Amino acid sequence: MFSTKNLLVIKSTLFVASAMLFVACGNGEAPKEEAATTEVVKTDSAATEEVSETSYSLPSPLQIASIFKKSGMKYKADLTSQVKDPSKYTTNLNKSLNLGVYSADLSYCVLNKQSQEAMRYMKLCRALADNLGMGSVFDESNLTKRFEKNLGNEDSLAYIIAELQMVTDMYLDENDQQQTTSIVFAGAWTESMYVGSKVYEKGKEKGLNTKLAEQMNILGSIVNALKAVEKKDPAITGLIADMNSIKDIYEAMPSVKNNNPDSDKPMSFTEEELSQLTKKIEELRAKFVNG
C-alpha cells in the first residue's frame, strides 16, 4: 500500500511539474531562474494496487489560478485579502486557513503579472508560516530570496511557488501535521472560488462560469480530507460544517441535479445559481479573513 507520505511526495512533485507545464504553454522557454533540484520518487509496482483511504490528491492554488486564467479570468484589484497584519490570527485554525488564502492570492497575482502585490503576499505567507512554526520551509533553496530576485519573471515565479508548495507539503507530512495541509487547502480553495466568482460577476465570461462549476467537484474531496484528520484538531469539526454548507447548496442546484455526467457538454450554472453560490462563498471567506 502507498503510505500517506509517499503519496504526498508524488503529489508535490507533480506541482513542480505543473509549473513547468505552465511555462511551456506560456512561451515555450524554460525559466531563466535556476532550476530547482527535485527528488525522483520510486515505488514498488505492487504498491499501486491500493491507496490509503486517508490520502486525497488536491490541486494546488497555482493550478486553480492557472485554470481560471485560461478560462478568461482577468485581474481585478482589491479582490484579494487586504489584511496586512497576520498577527491578528491567533489560533492554528485561523493561521492555517489564511495561509491558504494568502497562497491563493499569491498565485493570482503572479499569473497576472502583479509583481509587487505578489511579493507582499509572499511575505505574508512567510509571516504566517513562522507563526505556525514552519518558516524554515521558506529557507529551502533560498525560496524567498529567489522569489524577490525574479520579480517580473512570471515563469520563474510560478516555478518557485510550485516548489514552495512541494517543500511545505513534505515538511508537514514529515512532522505529522497533515491536518494543516487540509486546512490550508480549504482556505486556498475558498479564496480561489471567491476571487473567481467575483471576477465573473464583473465580466460574465462564459468559460469562467464553466470552470467555477468544474472546481466545485473538488469540494467533496476537501471535506473528506478534513474528516480524515478531524481527530487531530477539534476545531476542524466546525470547518467541515462550514465547507458542507457550501456543498449542500451546490448539490441542491437544478443544474447539478440534472447534469448528465456522461455528456461531453460541460456543466455551467444559471445566473441565479451562481449568485446564490457566490453569496455563500463570500460569507465563508469573510469568516476566514476576519478571523
Domain definitions of the chain by residue range: 4-30+56-290
From first to last of its 291 residues, the chain has per-residue pLDDT tens of: 333 344 343 344 344 434 433 444 444 344 444 444 334 333 343 333 333 444 555 778 888 999 998 888 889 988 999 999 999 999 999 999 999 999 999 999 999 999 999 999 999 999 999 999 998 898 877 888 999 999 989 889 999 999 999 999 899 999 999 899 999 999 999 999 999 999 999 888 889 999 999 999 999 999 999 999 999 899 999 999 999 999 999 999 999 999 988 888 889 999 999 999 999 999 999 999 998
CA 98 from chain center: how many Å?
Answer: 11
Query: How far is residue 184's CA from residue 18's CA, in Å, rounded to a whole number?
Result: 19
* CA-wise closest residue to 236 among 185, 174, 271: 185
d(CA 57, CA 218): 10
What pTM, to 2 d.p., does this model score? 0.83
And the C-alpha cell for 18? Answer: 505543473
Q: Quick one: cell of 241?
A: 460544517
Number of H helices, E strands in the chain: 12, 0
